């Protein structure tokens, strides 16, 4: 009994810990009250520690097709998730009902589940010293008072710009405008109290060119935290049209080994595969080709890949991770050498390491440009090979690094795009692909959580005609 008391005293809540940032409206105050009630009830039921996340959001989406509103969606979501620990036994439960009785029932369910789980020494809250104590304003919350009429007009303008661009555009899949905002709070029994506000708005369009078996489709979009930062509807529509028209008269690609350029929208997938390979859950299960590779040269010298969680207005920005641990900018790869993994508290303990504040994933992971060149200049550097603009299927094995995916793209000869190509696969192994990166362009895709410019690889195996 004395040992249990000492443990509880050691992890007692910090007194009078305030919510950061301070709540500014009734919704935020209500979410905070829900979180506090859940933690209080967990303590009453004997949990040694507990953590709760509560969120509420709302949004809308409208699609226009052939100038007419085709679909309208509204959503209002709210949820509570509670995790309780009885020393090293854990249990979790969730609810969308914020009534006091429902919250208490969810906490009770989590406590009951914990009684039947296996004790795991790696369970528990993160070390208190790692919790965020500074909460910079990352400028993420820009609500958009968008009426249905305004949304319809913007989407129609976008689609119309695409259809008017060229008479060969024969059909449309429509233009969609979407807007979402949310508030999330996270708290634990060690006194952490954090509140996040965020918004996300987007505009997209997709059209079709050609007829019969010769039809091609493509799309374009823009996304931003603030509506004022979105591209004009006409610009999105015209870009959609140009991207679709360039796919006309596609041929089958030839087979062989060729240099490959991934366009920026495709290049970010390489960062996604890297993220999976350095994820703690895959590592402690021995399911990653990058296990035990910290300090190893996995990219060419000069390649830098870094995480930037404090970029204002960015898609992946956050002052703290999903466990309340303070986020920080850091290099994942420096001069081609792997510097670290992406760990939460549990996976870190499994690996005998410390959390890297990646509960919830990496944030704003970017591969820096190694040249001032863009796609066109890299094509000239490549001379002869393939530009990949679309990937199809999911033939990637994180355990071995084996890679094989269907693709669409363009054949390059004499440094210039000659014609579009389709019905081919590209294959290799991620370990070799990473080492074969010859250049990273400056045309960086920055709209999402993964950021990359065009990437030139020395060679990959192409299977076509």
pLDDT tens by residue, 400-435: 999 999 999 999 999 999 999 999 999 999 999 999
For residue 314, pLDDT beyond 50: yes
pLDDT tens digits for 163-182?
999 999 989 999 999 999 99
Question: pLDDT grade, residue 2 (50/70/90)?
Answer: very low
Using the predicted structure, report yes or no on whether residue 5 has a pLDDT greater than 60.
no
C-alpha angle 215/403/350, rounded to 5°?
130
Q: Give the pLDDT of residue 235.
A: 98
Helix, strand or coil for residue 345? helix
Q: How would DSSP label each residue in 372-396?
A: S--HHHHHHHH-SEEEEEEEES--B
Angle between helices 100-115 and 26-44 (to 10 degrees): 40
- H-type alpha helices, 169-263: 233-245
pLDDT for 123 beyond 70: yes
Range from 20-24, 95-99, 259-263, 312-316 carrying the lowest mean pLDDT: 20-24
Of 324, 255, 272, 295, nearest to 83 (Cα)? 324
For residues 217-221, average pLDDT: 97
Q: State the pLDDT at residue 57.
A: 98
Q: What is the mean pLDDT of residues 333-360?
A: 98
Q: Which residues contact 348 (CB under 8 A, 6 or more apart)?
A: 280, 354, 355, 356
DSSP string across 88-121: TEEEEEEES--SHHHHHHHHHHHHHHHHTSPP-T
Residue 204 sits at φ, ψ, to 5 deg, of -140, 160
CATH topology for the 2-245 domain = PmbA/TldD fold (3.30.2290)
Confidence of residue 18 (pLDDT cuts 50, 70, 90): confident
User: To the nearest 5 percent, what fractions of the chain are helix, strand and coil?
Assistant: 25, 35, 35
Instruction: Report percent pLDDT > 70 for the chain.
Output: 96
pLDDT digits (tens, 9 = 90+) for 353-390: 999 999 999 999 999 999 999 999 999 999 999 999 99
Q: How many CB atoms lie within 10 A of CB 380?
A: 12
CA 334 – CA 345 distance, rounded (Å): 24
CA distances from 10 to 129, 193, 353 (A): 13, 19, 22
- 34-48 confidence digits (pLDDT tens): 999 999 999 999 999
Strand partners, 197: 183
Alpha helices in 165-263 (DSSP H): 233-245
Q: Which helix (H) or strand (E) holds 187?
A: strand 169-188
CB 266 within 8 A of CB 388: yes
Name the average pLDDT for the chain: 95
Band (pLDDT 50/70/90 cuts) for residue 309 is very high
Which residues partner with 82 through β-bridges?
A: 52, 93
d(CA 389, CA 407): 8
Rounded (5°) CA angle 53-54-55 = 125
> How confident is residue 9, by pLDDT bands cut at 50, 70 and 90?
very low
Which pLDDT belongs to residue 211?
79
Kindly indicate the confidence band of residue 214, based on its pLDDT and cuts at 50, 70 and 90: confident
**Cα(215)–Cα(406) distance, rounded to whole angstroms?**
18
Q: Is there a contact between 32 and 19 (Cβ–Cβ < 8 Å)?
A: yes
Which residue ranges make up each domain of the chain? 2-245, 249-465
Residue 6's pLDDT is 38
Please give the sequence-ordered ranges of beta strands (E in DSSP) within 230-297, or none if there are none.
Answer: 251-252, 256-262
Q: How many residues does the chain have?
A: 465
Alpha carbon distance 203, 210 (integer Å): 24
Does 22 have pLDDT greater than 80? yes
Q: Residue 185: enclosing H or E segment and its boundaries? A: strand 169-188
CB 375 within 8 A of CB 263: yes
pLDDT of residue 216 exceeding 70: yes
b/e burial code for range 230-260 (CB count within 10 A of at least 16 → b)? bbebeebbbbbbebbbbbeebeebeeeebbb
pLDDT of residue 294 exceeding 50, the answer is yes
């Amino acid at each position: 009994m004395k040992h249990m008391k000492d443990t509880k005293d050691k992890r007692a809540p910090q007194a009078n810990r305030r919510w950061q940032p301070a709540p500014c409206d009734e919704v935020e105050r209500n979410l905070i009250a829900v979180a506090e009630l859940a933690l209080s009830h967990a303590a009453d039921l004997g949990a040694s520690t507990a953590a709760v996340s509560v969120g509420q959001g709302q949004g809308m989406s409208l699609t226009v097709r052939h100038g007419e509103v085709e679909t309208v969606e509204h959503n209002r979501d709210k949820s509570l998730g509670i995790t309780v620990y009885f020393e090293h036994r854990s249990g979790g439960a969730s609810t969308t009902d914020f009534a006091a009785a429902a919250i208490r029932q969810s906490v009770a369910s989590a406590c009951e589940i914990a009684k039947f789980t296996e004790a795991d020494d790696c369970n528990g809250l993160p070390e208190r010293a790692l919790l965020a104590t500074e909460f910079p304003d990352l400028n993420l919350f820009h609500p958009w008072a968008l009426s249905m009429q305004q949304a319809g007009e913007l989407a129609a303008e976008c689609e119309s710009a695409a259809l008017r661009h060229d008479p060969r555009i024969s059909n449309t899949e429509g233009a969609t405008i979407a807007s979402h905002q949310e508030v999330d709070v996270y708290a634990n029994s060690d006194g952490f109290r954090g509140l996040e506000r965020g918004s996300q708005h987007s505009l997209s369009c997709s059209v079709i060119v050609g007829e019969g078996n010769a039809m091609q489709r493509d799309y374009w979009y823009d996304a931003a935290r603030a509506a004022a930062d979105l591209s004009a509807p006409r610009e999105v529509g015209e870009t959609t049209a140009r991207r679709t028209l360039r796919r006309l008269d596609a041929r089958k690609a030839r087979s062989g080994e060729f240099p490959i350029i991934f366009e920026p929208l495709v290049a970010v997938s390489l960062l996604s595969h890297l993220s999976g390979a350095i994820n703690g859950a895959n590592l402690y299960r021995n399911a990653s080709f990058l296990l035990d590779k910290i300090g190893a040269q996995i990219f060419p010298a000069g390649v830098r890949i870094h995480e930037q969680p404090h970029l204002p207005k960015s898609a992946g920005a956050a002052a703290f991770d999903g466990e309340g641990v303070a986020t920080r900018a850091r290099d994942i790869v420096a001069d081609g050498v792997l510097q670290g993994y992406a760990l939460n508290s549990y996976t870190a303990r499994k690996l005998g390491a410390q959390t890297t504040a990646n509960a919830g994933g990496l944030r704003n992971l970017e591969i820096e440009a190694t040249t001032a060149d863009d796609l066109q200049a890299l094509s000239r550097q490549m001379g002869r090979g393939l530009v990949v603009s679309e990937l199809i299927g999911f033939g990637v094995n994180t355990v071995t690094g084996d890679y094989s995916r269907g693709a669409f793209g363009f054949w390059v000869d004499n440094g210039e795009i000659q014609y579009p190509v389709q019905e081919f696969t590209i294959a290799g192994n991620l370990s070799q692909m990473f080492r074969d990166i010859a250049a990273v362009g400056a045309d960086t895709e920055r709209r999402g959580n993964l950021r990359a410019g065009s990437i030139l690889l020395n060679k990959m195996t192409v299977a076509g005609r």
